[in-house]
Structure 1
């Protein structure tokens, strides 16, 4: 049986999704929970690799196992074997061909910035504190320069080699959320540290170090040194996911 799971997690205490030799991972915790519940070793594959310290409001994973537990009860059963900072909220039997990563048509990440000269301990784990005032209108203008199908080499870190640095960004929005600033970026795929570099570039635009027109020039240059910094992982969330041709997942409203 091929089973898809909807989960969320606080990534503070983990070295990202993928199993690592040098520390705990979300994937390892999920595979341990499946083994303790079902007594079967299973490879739990995810929609993508999130880096150390990155969070997920919504994440999709899948695994194959013999399971007689009703899908409506499976989240409760798995959660009893998971730490408090990881939670499964839905489960569904899906076609054998379903792949959590390759069936995902688009993803949205959200990055949170706390513009303040003073620390707030309640934001420390989930938002990056920027010490100076930020102009949201200019940030929004700059954000629109990232929209479209283009080369994003200027806002990626060196990591796993890729065949192309061209991606499609469907939207990039900057908006206030209480005391925080939220940057939402939706695309068909992302390069290593791409969203964190976009957030750093927009912070520079909001702080007056760059202009919206500079963003266009930076992207055309393909030069990482011209863009803003890669902001820390703690402010980044995998936020929303979209899937097609998977009717069994529709009740979970992955794109909502």
Structure 2
């Protein structure tokens, strides 16, 4: 039973998240249905993914794996899956034959996320559903100073959802980068976060808090105070999902190399 890794891109807007649900559309459900049409022996099996993104969250570098009956040529598999996925906004960027012990979730050593925030007065049009929009420009240096307090190994209870099922709130956050780009009559702020794993709503909680710093409502030092509080009530607002993207997953050996 050959195992294949799949690099997946999707628009999260029409889905209730990655995870298959009985009564709502999901990315996992769309992909499993396409696999069952291609490989009849797959019917009834499940695929596993590196990250179970929430409703409305996008991906440009999600990784999943599937066990199939047929030993497909990887290129033909990706082409056939893209045909059967239509018209769902899901695309297989690459497929690769992997060892039986490869696991999209448990073999992963890091996940990378991007959050896109646009500040301008006029409503966004082309980026609608792809970014979080605020009206006023933000102080990027203040946000970077606030973000510096979060780098390293900490108890992130303040920055995780009350519904989080992780066994521990202690995580190591390896990187938070904040870059800017000009958009017509405004500025886009791009938050890049990297860690081995993330808690439920951790990225959106962090970005929502840093936005308060950039807006001048919080001094940067208050981020450290919120972290130390280990209390969800100390967190800033949780920003909406449409600006969040899972952009990549790192493994000891790149399955697509």
Coarse TM-score class (shorter-chain normalised): over 0.9
| 5+ long unaligned stretches in structure 2 | none
Q: CA deviation at 1:149?
A: 0.5
- Out of 153, 166, 170, the position equivalent to 2:174 is 170
In the alignment, the residues of structure 1 paired with residue 176 and residue 26 of structure 2 have an alpha-carbon distance, to the nearest angstrom, of 29
Shift of 1:15: 0.6
In the other structure, the counterpart of 1:230 is 238
**Partner of 1:12 in structure 2?**
13
1:51 aligns with one of 43, 50, 54: 54
In the other structure, the counterpart of 2:127 is: 123
- Using the size of structure 1 for normalisation, the TM-score is 0.94
Q: Give TM-score, length-normalised by structure 2.
A: 0.93
The alignment status of 1:217 with 2:250, answered yes or no, reads no
Runs of at least 5 residues in structure 1 that lack an aligned partner in the other structure: 252-256
1:94-113 equivalences under 5 Å are 94-113=98-117
The aligned counterpart of 1:254 is none
Displacement over 6 Å in runs of 4+: none
Shift of 1:21: 2.5
Is residue 2:188 matched to residue 1:188?
no
**Cα distance between partner residues in 2 of 1:178 and 1:4:** 36
Is residue 83 from structure 1 mapped to residue 86 from structure 2 by the alignment?
yes
Classify the secondary structure of the residue corresponding to 1:201: helix
Query: In angstroms, what is the RMSD of aligned CA positions?
Result: 1.2
Of 142, 156, 162, the match for 2:160: 156
**How far apart, in 2, do the equivalents of 1:2 and 1:206 lie?**
46
* Secondary structure in 2 matching 1:20: coil
Secondary structure class of the residue paired with 1:178: strand
What is the number of residues matched between the two proteins?
249
Question: Deviations for 1:140-194, whole angstroms, at most 9, x for unmatched residues?
Answer: 1111111100111111111143321000011001111333111111111111100
SS across alignment from 1:96 = coil
Contact 2:129 2:243 in 1 (8 A): yes
